Structure 1
Amino acid sequence: MEAADTKDSPRGPLRVLASDVVATLLMETVIPTFLSEYPHVQLELVANSAFVDIVAEGFDAAFRLSDDVPKDMIALKFGAPSCMKVVGSPAYLKGRHLPVSPEELEVLDCVRSRPATGIPYRWEFEKGRKKISIEPKGAFTVNRSELALQAALRGLGVSYVPEKLCRAHLETGALVSLLDDWSSLYEGLRLYYPGHRLVPPALRAFINVVKTSELA
């Protein structure tokens, strides 16, 4: 990009916070594109799924689902609504009973997820007006969605992961999704930043790159 070589090009540090999953997605196209177009910006991407006060911790911006964005922030919507998927490898699922309702997941080895501190996440399902929340049963627990995905790929059980994270593996057949008619949608991502100060040029440039990416 021609502007990257001019003295008016954005420069200086830029700190961005994202959940584990979003950070992984950003690494696919957004980060390489941004660093290529704006070489004078020193970008720091921090992956952390915990709730963080971005002002207190010195971040310029962060990504969250819409319901999790603090009310005093400016939030820009990126991405269409998505959903969570229950996935397993064909090898693991071969010869096993495939559940037709969330309650039947107890016959499978479920890879549980929970933060470093706290209780395991529950798996949420929705079909029409019916909503179900279950606590999965299984011998293996992880604290990152990427690890849950890898566990499913390696036949350790079925995992509950964001559709965007497992989409490519579903397309190749490396994973099979279960209970698709029970998938519940959640709102797309928001990129948010403090509203009490001017948007620095580096952040504005980053926002523009995100807008033209597959996250938008």
Structure 2
Amino acid sequence: MRRMRAADLSVFLAIAEHRSFRRAAVELGVTPSALSHSLRAIEERLDVRLVNRTTRGVGLTEAGERLLERIRPAFLDIDAALEELDTFRGQPLGKLRLNAPRAAAKLVLVPTVTRFLEAHPNIEVEIVVDDALVDMVSGGFDAGVRFGESIAADMIALAIGPRHRFAVVGSSGHFTRHKAPVTPHDLKDHPCIRYRFAGGSFYRWEFERGGLELDIDVQGPLTLGDQDMMLQAALDGAGLAYVFESQATELVTDGRLVSVLQDWCPYYPGFFLYYPSRRQLPGPLRAFLDFVRAKR
């Protein structure tokens, strides 16, 4: 058997970790076809099949699992050694790939990243907006942003940005046709703009006052999956919307929207930056975590 090069093993490692030729190809900067040919050549040189390709995806053979188990720690050690060079360079260098739902990206992540890049000009950041919950590792992400309750228990979480609360808002024209609600139960008399999660379920509007917690399954003729569109629909008179208060503040101040049930809308801890537990963190991620901690 000919001696394998580190570059050959990195091809297998990318495929094995992503379980996807497409995502592995993106990481390595090649086409999926070229990656497939490279893997085939590796398997021929080793005279053993490492990967099973099926219509359902990519899986590892027993030999592939064993190889991954042995070489992954070695590559992590190499990555850690290269990251330590940042102490001599003075500035971390590399790419940071982040995932966040649209609201989190707009409200906290993009403003934070913009300031971060001013302090770290040698780092490149990619933000992928996706309202669905994603697998951090298979998706090739360094970290993500979500509300705390939606973060898996095996992740490390760090608060990012201020605490938030929601607001129930409607156009002034809406309240010429409907009496302003006094309690959340009064929402049954109003057309409401419903929010559907990427997974398909409807969001139940959450309220709290004096220790009493309520969640209301509102009804209405319009369902959306984006807070900005909900806000615009409320402005257009489609009904009441339940949106982040910070998104509606200026419109309420200008009198274009009216906010109701303020004393029923509680504050939430806000968003969290989360990332997988690792023995060694990539330099760009470590720098970003330090930056977020310093701004808290």
The answer to whether the superposition gives a TM-score over 0.5 is: yes
Q: Is the 8 A contact 1:170 1:176 kept in 2?
A: yes
Aligned equivalent of 2:184 = 102
Q: Secondary structure at the match of 2:232?
A: helix
CA-to-aligned-CA distance 1:94-127 (integer Å, 9 cap, x gap): 3531010112112222111102441221111122
Q: CA deviation at 1:178?
A: 0.9
In the TM superposition, residue 143 of structure 1 has moved relative to its aligned partner by: 0.7
Q: CA RMSD in A?
A: 2.3
Q: Would you say 1:15 and 2:94 are equivalent positions?
A: no
For residues 176 and 28 of structure 1, what CA distance do their matches in structure 2 show? Answer: 28
Q: Identity of paired residues, percent?
A: 38
Q: Which position in structure 2 is the counterpart of 1:207?
A: 289
Q: Amino acid of the residue matched to residue 94 of structure 1?
A: T
1:158 aligns with 2:261: no
Deviates more, 1:49-58 or 1:199-208: 199-208
Q: Does 1:62 align with 2:62?
A: no
Q: Which residue of structure 2 aligns with residue 119 of structure 1?
A: 201
Aligned ranges for residues 1-216 of structure 1 at < 5 Å?
7-26=89-108, 29-211=111-293, 216=296
Quote the offset at 1:80 in angstroms. 4.2
Whichever structure has more strand as a proportion of its residues is 1
One-letter amino acid of the counterpart of residue 100, structure 1: V
For CA contacts below 8 A with separation 6 or more, give which structure has more relative contact order.
1
Q: TM-score, normalised by structure 1?
A: 0.84
State the alpha-carbon separation in 1 of the partners of residues 261 and 201 from structure 2.
24
Q: Residue 280 of structure 2 aligns to which amino acid in structure 1?
A: L
Structure 2 CA distance for partners of 1:28 and 1:176, relative to 1, 3 Å: farther
CA distance in 2, matches of 1:48, 1:203: 20
Give 3-state SS (helix, strand or coil) of 1:29's partner. helix
**TM-score normalised to structure 2 length:** 0.63
Aligned equivalents of 2:274, 2:116: Cα separation in 1: 18
Structure 1 gap ranges (5+): 1-5
CA contact under 8 A between 2:166 and 2:244: conserved in structure 1? yes
How far has the Cα of 1:69 moved from its partner?
2.0
| Distance (Å, rounded) in 1 between the aligned partners of 2:129 and 2:247 | 15
Aligned mates of 2:140, 2:178 — CA distance in 1: 49
Q: How far is the alpha carbon of 1:62 from its aligned partner?
A: 1.0
User: Would you say how many aligned residue pairs link Structure 1 and Structure 2?
Assistant: 209
Larger radius of gyration: 2
Aligned partners of 1:210 and 1:169: how far apart in 2? 29
Question: Which segments of 5 or more consecutive residues in structure 2 lack a partner in the other structure?
Answer: 1-87
Q: How many Å separate the matches in 2 of 1:116 and 1:201?
A: 32
Aligned twin of 1:3: none
